[in-house]
A and B are shown apart, each in its own frame.
Chain A
Amino acid sequence: MTLAVLLIVLPLAGALLCLAGTERTAKTVGLLAGLVTLGAAVMMAREFPAWGTADFWPNQEGWRLFTAFGVDFLLGTDTVGMILILLTALLIPCSMLVSFGAITQRQRGFYAQFLFMEAAVMLAFLARDVILFYIGYEFTLVPLFLIVAVWGGSERRVASIKLWVYSFVGSVVSLVGFIYLAAGNASAHGGQMTFAIDALSQYGASLPASTQWWLFLAIMGGFAVKVPFVPVHSWLPLAHGEAPTAGSVVLAGIVIKIGQYGALRFAFPMAPEGGLALAPFFSALALVGILGMSLVCWVQNDVKRLVAYSSVAHMGLALLAMFAFNVVGMEGAILYMVNHGLSTAGMFMCIGIMYERYHTKDMEVVGGLMQRMPVWSVFMVFFAMASLALPGLNGFVSEFLCLMGVYTADHGVKTGFPGILGPTYAFLAALALILGALYVLRMLQRFVFGPLREPHDAQHPPGGEAHGAHGHHAVAHDLNLREVAAMAPLAIACIVIGIWPKPLLDTIEPAAAKVVAPYVELIQRAPTAEKPSDGLALNAGSPLPASPAAAGEAAQ
């Protein structure tokens, strides 16, 4: 067995071990399994020969279990997937570590669910076959549902059901698209049923535009639920609000990334003409998400809901950048997955740690925590700033690239970036810079700074049995070493990516270019090129000397 298989098998084995062990050992076993998987992921990353290319590795033929269905058990991933695998492998142990204190009931199940989820996510990222991906993608729902439903807050019932139904319907809609595509492919190739991503992408791109329109709508529509896109986002705030800390971390850091990954890996390559035709529609939705949800964040008092809504806004920007159909935007969007995963996960960890001490997420009730938990405040402010896209931290790099991608996607000939978005979209999206500052700072203002406010009856949480066992605290203590250990890796990653994103950027560029390529070709092939959306052309016509760019290059 090689690393790719190990990445799936190790967490599975860990989960079974957790279940087989006792309540006492569960957390240790879980953490160890998570760490071992992380080790395997790191080893795979070190062996990964495809860094900086758009190739897949290891293309390992696993068990030939489902060939009769046209499903190849082919495992392999490219740089994007590899990065996400690393992110997953990092976040899972961190989220477990942060739950040690919070989860006192049904620990075996809890840690096992995380490992089940990890296995499924790994499968999704490693799959080179649509159905194989779908297996992982869909299976994440079960542990996620249980995590929210069993260890969640007071409204966990509604939250978990919503999570379940929305995600299920969404993914089934995607599946319909895939199957339709595969069936068409099979009949076009003499009944050879296959779900191989490459084959389907090739076939999908050859379909008539109207068919592609529907295909894209189906596939992307399904993933849009997961991303989540306005208006199918409403499961997320609730799910985040009610999930236990680690659940929120994983949800924000990994699960919703699968949605974007799906868009990148499936929706975009499989129906390029559809994507192009639907880009205005989805872009408009993304803008509504960015601006509307930022505003909604502003008036939230439940801090977890706030961060959840901010996720919707952030992912909207990432998706918008994907619809810019250029390398810069696509790189930004890909990097956004990682960065949003890190910073939002960090914020959820902070909030969760706070919740563990106060059993409330209401900014009206608790606040000014800097005086009580200074170290915690440092992390909170740090992750908030990362999510605000403060330059020097990771969020900036991706947000900048995304905005730039959107900005330059105006069919200007100079950049070689055809596209249908352009400055208007970029300007509107960039308003999120201000709105983001508004809501994040309002959160910090109430929550971290200001006079200390603590709930009176923190000992009696409303959240039910999950937290009841040891709610007694005289004075909330600051972070302990374990909690710092859980968050520090994320913080370090935030800084490193912020300061030195070059390796990442270099390595995802070919993958991004590969996704974009069919769109570029399509737009350039179109005889009547679309006008820029706002009707204002850059002075593309004005002859520009080649020297400025040359001079720019020389200066480095």
Chain B
Amino acid sequence: MIPHAIAMLPSTAMLPSTAMLPSPAMLASTASLGPKFALIVPEIVVFAGAVVCAVMGLSQSRSTRAGVPWMAVATLVGTFVVMLKVWTPEAAAAAELPMPLLGKYVIALLCVVGVGHVLASAGSVDRAIERQVASGTGAFDPVRVISGEFHAFLLFSLCGAMLLCHATDLVWLFLAFELCSLPTYVLVAIGRGADRSMEAAIKYFFLGAMSTATMLFGFALLYGATGTLELSAMREAFQMQAQVGGIGTVAIMGMLFTVIGICFKLAAVPMHFYAPDVYEGASNPVAAFISFVPKVQGFVTLVLLLGTVGWDASGNAAIPQVVAAVLWMVALLTMTLGNIGALLQRSAKRMLAYSSIANSGYMLTGILAGPAIGVDATLLYLLTYGVANLATFGSLAAIERNGHEVDSLDDLAGLRVRAPMVATALAIGALSLTGIPPLVGFWGKLDLFMASAESGQRALLVAMALNSGIAAFYYLRLVAGPFVAEPTPRTQGVAPVQSLWPRVSALVFAMGCIVLPFAANQLKQESAAAAMNGPAAPPAVRTAEK
């Protein structure tokens, strides 16, 4: 956000002679800080919790260090509670956010799924050293212990994703975006402590930096085309331009650069190449994290920016055709390449990485369907994907083979014998991702299908259906492996991890896949409310009331 006074300073002179200039009134519409501060209390809680975690992780006391994950969980729970207190519609309206209730939905989502992520990683971080400390063979070494950092970074990243929802200008957007991104690079690097995770981290980081630069360059062009960093002002400028003679080339190039930059976070074509390697290299809990939180980050950013670029409050999709075309192609290619790529994999994580790519493709169709029809579907799908994805990855995180992470699909053969609960959770998660009704994934997919159909995106609808068919084939491996195949000599060493909590996490989220449909109405209403564009619109729910 730009301080009012500074923004006003040069506005009286040296304006270009075109008609395309933001009026001072627009620039003056910036809200005062008070209401915004009221809304970022949840993020402050997360931030504080992160700091506490970092400090606790360095404690000499083993029990204190063991409390780090619980601190993180408590932080997220607290955040959730605080969010419920803070995010009243009035407060949201006062803050003049572009999408007033988006933050509520996203924060709730991130809190709930975040707890799952924390639990899924319980017991795996610092495992070796803590074991040594416990058995007395090793001493506490602040340099070697990473639990504090791990959880702190996890919370920082969540915090960044949450802060994105408050963005009213590109500065905030950029900073929150980076706050969300940077910790994830660290998480990948430290999550497993092996060469592979180093490699994953370096790929993730360098390519991420490149794409961030791309996005940033797009921001610059957008700024150049409108002369403002304020999202609302930018929108008005674009609307004016569109009325006068069309949005300029610079603006469109800026949008394209921005979208491409965001595609990296979504793992969307053509920025998806890193995903399989990085997910494979990262530890299972981290892979779960980076297959979900960056997606939230990317989609929130995309929604905000597209809202800025062209969507209006009444829900008319007016983004420039070229941008729409690029998004259309990206969606199509993303779901297709993701799904076919998954077909060839023998590594469960790589396969799920491709699945994550494909799911981004699905969600992009919701974006393409426009704000009134599709964004809520995308948001709902984010939730269903997050839950099912965590059930799946969490199940992988909950087992180990001879003390190492389970990765190959071969390790899953006959899992029902070794770890029946984990096998069940894995199968339910996979079936939910497949879209088998009545699991929650089905409802997400149904909503996206409906959005595509309602917005007339027939080709995407058919493509999505066919892609679901392909996906059904490889997700089946996660059902058939545990439940159909018999244990092999290779799977002799497969066992649940020592810690109970990854199992609990997987199982709870698997149950979520079954139970959440019972709350489908509420979820749908919340996502619809979150997708509302502009402060004035009432939370309309386009449903048939009987």
Instruction: Please determine if A and B sit in direct contact within the complex, based on CB atoms under 8 angstroms apart.
Output: yes
Q: Which of A134, A145, A164, A191 contacts B437 (CB 8 A)?
A: A134
> Within 8 Å CB of A68, what residues of B?
520-521, 524-525, 528, 541, 543
Contacts of B461 in A (CB 8 A): 176, 179-180
Q: Which of B496-546 contact A (CB under 8 A)?
A: 517-518, 520-521, 524-525, 528, 541-546
Q: What is the CA–CA distance of A70 and B479 in the complex, to the nearest angstrom?
A: 30
Stretch at the interface among A167-175, A288-296, A349-357, A481-489: A167-175
Chain B nearest CB: distance from A180 CB in Å? 5
Within 471-485 of B, Cβ neighbours of A (below 8 Å) are at 472-473, 476, 479-480, 483-484
The chain A residue sitting closest to B528, CB to CB, is: A68
Q: 1/0 per residue B422-453: CB within 8 Å of A?
A: 00000000010010111000110011011001
Decide if B544 touches A194 in the complex (CB within 8 Å).
yes
Residues of A with C-beta under 8 A to B434:
168
> Are A165 and B469 also in contact (CB < 8 A) when A176-B462, A180-B458 are?
yes
Does A497 reach chain B (CB closer than 8 Å)?
Answer: no
Q: Which residue of A lies closest to B477 (CB)?
A: A161
Whether the Cβ atoms of A67 and B518 lie closer than 8 Å is no
Q: How far is the CB of A552 from chain B (nearest CB, A)?
A: 49
Beta-carbon contacts under 8 Å, A156-189 to B: 157, 160-161, 164-165, 168-169, 172-173, 175-176, 179-180, 182-184, 186-187
The answer to the question of A135 belonging to the interface, with a C-beta cut-off of 8 Å to chain B, is yes
From A194, which residue of chain B is reached at the shortest CB distance? B544
User: Which residues of chain B come closer than 8 Å to A69, judged between CB atoms?
Assistant: 443, 446-447, 450, 520, 524, 543
**Interface of chain B residues 149 through 185 with chain A (CB within 8 A):** none
Taken together as a complex, chains A and B put the C-alpha atoms of A519 and B367 apart, in Å, by 40
Contact B438 A67 (CB under 8 A): no
Closest to B449 in A: A179
Please determine whether A164 and B476 come into contact, CB atoms closer than 8 angstroms: yes
- A100-134 interface code vs B (CB 8 A; 1 in, 0 out): 00000000000000000000000000000001001
Decide if B465 is an interface residue (CB 8 Å cutoff).
yes
A357 to B216, CA, bound (A): 73
Asked if B436 and A193 make an inter-chain contact with CB atoms under 8 angstroms apart, the answer reads no
Closest Cβ of chain A: how far from B262's Cβ, in Å? 28
A172 touching B543, Cβ below 8 Å: no
Q: Report A-chain residues with C-beta under 8 Å of the C-beta of B528.
A: 68
Given A72-B546, A142-B436, A165-B473: A65 touches B518 (CB 8 Å cut-off): yes
CB A508 to nearest CB in B, in angstroms, measures: 29
Contacting pair B436 A138 (CB below 8 A): yes
Q: Does A146 contact B (CB under 8 A)?
A: yes
Nearest residue (CB) in A for B526 is: A68
* Complex contacts, B446 vs chain A, CB 8 Å: 69, 131, 179
Q: Report the minimal beta-carbon distance from B294 to chain A, rounded to whole angstroms.
A: 28
- Complex Cα distance A487/B486, Å? 33
Residues of A within 8 Å of B442, CB to CB, are 135, 138
The count of residues in chain B whose C-beta lies closer than 8 Å to any C-beta of chain A is 41
Q: Chain A at the B interface: mostly helix, strand, loop or mixed? A: helix
Find B468's partner among A149, A172, A187, A193 (CB 8 Å cutoff). Answer: A172
CB of B90 within 8 Å of the partner chain: no
**A521 touches B (CB below 8 Å):** no
Chain A residues contacting B518 (CB-CB under 8 Å) are 63, 65
The answer, yes or no, to whether A465 is at the interface (CB within 8 Å) is: yes
Min distance, Cβ A210 to any Cβ of chain B, angstroms: 13
State the CA gap A475–B294 with chains docked (Å): 66
Chain B residue contacts of A197, Cβ below 8 A: none
CB-defined contacts of B520 to chain A, threshold 8 Å: 65-66, 68-69
In the complex, whether B141 has a CB less than 8 A from a CB of chain A is: no
B438 touches A135 (CB 8 A): yes
Bound-complex Cα distance A66 to B525 (A): 11
Task: For the complex formed, measure the closest distance between the CB of A136 and the CB atoms of chain B, giving whole angstroms.
Answer: 8
Shortest Cβ distance from residue B319 to the other chain A in the assembled complex, whole angstroms: 21
State the Cβ distance, B436 to closest chain A Cβ, in Å. 6
Residues in A67-96 with C-beta less than 8 Å from chain B? 67-70, 72
Q: Mask for B404-437, Cβ within 8 A of A = 1, else 0? A: 0000000000000000000000000001001011
Is A139 part of the contact surface with B, judged by Cβ < 8 Å? Answer: yes
Bound CA span A175–B521, Å: 20
Q: Which residues of B contact A187 (CB under 8 A)?
A: 454
B128 within 8 Å of A by Cβ? no
Verify A191–B480 contact, CB threshold 8 A: no
Is there a chain B Cβ closer than 8 Å to A322's Cβ? no
Q: Tell me how far the C-beta of B371 lies from the nearest C-beta in chain A, rounded to whole angstroms.
A: 14
Cα A138 to Cα B525 with chains together (Å): 26
**Contact indicator A66/B453 (Cβ below 8 Å):** no
Least Cβ distance of B339 to chain A in Å?
Answer: 13
Residues of B within 8 Å of A65, CB to CB, are 517-518, 520-521
* A202 contacts the other chain (CB 8 A): no
Chain A nearest Cβ from B479, distance in angstroms: 8
Cβ contacts under 8 Å, B436 to chain A: 138-139, 141-142
Residue B466, interface by CB 8 Å: yes
Known: A146-B483, A179-B450, A187-B454. A139 touches B437 (CB 8 A): yes
Q: Are A169 and B469 in contact (CB under 8 A)?
A: yes
Cα A541 to Cα B486 in complex, Å, equals 70
Pick the contact of A67 from B469, B473, B521 — CB < 8 Å?
B521
Given the contacts A69-B447, A169-B466, A161 and B473 also touching, CB distance less than 8 Å:
yes
- Complexed CA–CA distance, A445 and B196 (Å): 65
A22: Cβ under 8 A from any B Cβ: no
Closest to B431 in A: A142
User: What sequence of 0s and 1s flags, for each residue 423-444 of chain A, a beta carbon within 8 Å of any chain B beta carbon?
Assistant: 0000000000000000000000
- Contact partner of B465 (CB less than 8 A), chosen from A139, A146, A165, A176, is A176
A143 to chain B, nearest CB (A): 11
Q: Which residues of B contact A142 (CB under 8 A)?
A: 431, 436, 479
B187 to chain A, nearest CB (A): 35
Rounded to whole Å, the gap between the CB of B377 and the closest CB of chain A is 10
Cβ–Cβ contact B542 & A66, under 8 A = no
In the bound complex, do residue B521 and residue A66 qualify as a contact, i.e. CB atoms below 8 Å apart? yes
Within 8 A of B (CB), among A179-237: 179-180, 182-184, 186-187, 191-194
A64 close to B (CB within 8 Å): yes
A388 within 8 A of B: no
| Whole-angstrom distance between the Cβ of B286 and the nearest chain A Cβ | 30
With both beta carbons as reference points, the residue of chain A lying nearest to B473 in the complex is identified as: A165
Q: Which of B465, B473, B479, B543 contacts A193 (CB 8 A)?
A: B543
Q: Are A175 and B449 in contact (CB under 8 A)?
A: yes
Contacts of A141 in B (CB 8 A): 436
A367 to B453, CA, bound (A): 56
Is A150 an interface position by the 8 A CB rule?
yes
How far apart sit A179 and B443, CA to CA, in the bound complex (Å)?
A: 13
Q: Kindly provide the distance from the CB of B444 to the nearest chain A CB, expressed in whole angstroms.
A: 11
Asked if residues A176 and B449 are in contact (CB atoms below 8 Å), the reply is yes
Q: B126 CB to closest chain A CB, in angstroms?
A: 37
B510–chain A nearest beta-carbon distance, Å: 14
Task: Judge whether A182 and B450 touch: CB under 8 Å.
Answer: yes
Residues of B within 8 A of A179 (CB): 446, 449-450, 453, 461
Q: Provide the bound-state CA to CA distance between A141 and B468, in Å.
A: 15
Q: Is the CB of B483 within 8 A of A150?
A: yes
Whether B453 pairs with A182 at a CB distance below 8 angstroms is yes
- For B541, the closest partner residue in chain A by CB is A68
In the complex, 26 of the A-B residue pairs with CB atoms within 8 angstroms, ordered by the A residue number, are A65-B518, A66-B517, A68-B541, A131-B446, A135-B442, A145-B479, A146-B484, A149-B483, A149-B484, A150-B484, A157-B484, A160-B484, A164-B472, A168-B468, A168-B472, A172-B469, A175-B449, A176-B449, A176-B461, A176-B465, A179-B450, A180-B458, A183-B450, A191-B542, A192-B543, A192-B544
Closest 10 CB pairs of A and B: A183-B453, A68-B524, A169-B469, A135-B437, A168-B472, A68-B521, A149-B484, A194-B544, A183-B454, A172-B465
- Taking A138-B436, A176-B465, A193-B450 as given, write out 6 further A-B residue pairs in contact, using a Cβ cutoff of 8 Å, ordered by the A residue number: A64-B546, A138-B437, A138-B442, A161-B473, A169-B469, A192-B543
Question: Which of B's residues lie within 8 Å of A, judged by CB?
Answer: 431, 434, 436-438, 442-443, 446-447, 449-450, 453-454, 458, 461-462, 465-466, 468-469, 472-473, 476, 479-480, 483-484, 486, 517-518, 520-521, 524-525, 528, 541-546
